[in-house]
C-alpha cells in the first residue's frame, strides 16, 4: 500500500512540479527519495528464473534442502 502511495506521489508530484508548482516538485523529490531508501533497506529475494506463462502452460516448483 505504501509503495502505491509513493508511486502516485511521484507521478502527480512530477507532473504538477514540471507544470510550475515548487511544492509539488518537493513532494516528488521526497517520494523518490523514500522509494530509493525502501529499496536499499529491503533488497528482496533474488530472481532465479523468469518466463511468460500462457494459458494451458504448466509449471512445477520444487525446493531442496541446502547442502
For 6, list phi and psi in degrees, rounded to 5.
Answer: -65, -40
- Determine the straight-line distance between the first and last CA of the chain, rounded to whole angstroms: 37
Q: Which residues contact 50 (CB under 8 A, 6 or more apart)?
A: none
How many domains does the chain fold into?
1
Higher pLDDT, 44 or 37: 37
Question: Does 34 reside within a domain?
Answer: yes
Domain that holds residue 9: 2-38
**pLDDT for 10:** 97
Q: pLDDT-derived band of residue 39, with 50, 70 and 90 as boundaries?
A: confident
pLDDT score of 42? 83
Dist CA 2 CA 35 (whole Å)? 9
**Is 67 a residue whose pLDDT tops 80?**
no
Residue 45 domain flag = no
Using pLDDT thresholds of 50, 70 and 90, give the confidence band for residue 21.
very high
Amino acid at each position: 500500500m505504501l509503495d502505491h502511495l509513493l508511486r502516485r506521489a511521484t507521478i502527480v508530484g512530477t507532473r504538477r512540479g514540471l507544470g510550475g508548482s515548487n511544492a509539488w516538485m518537493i513532494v516528488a523529490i521526497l517520494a523518490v527519495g523514500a522509494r530509493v531508501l525502501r529499496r536499499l533497506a529491503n533488497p528482496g529475494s533474488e530472481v532465479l528464473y523468469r518466463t511468460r506463462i500462457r494459458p494451458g502452460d504448466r509449471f512445477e516448483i520444487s525446493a531442496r534442502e541446502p547442502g
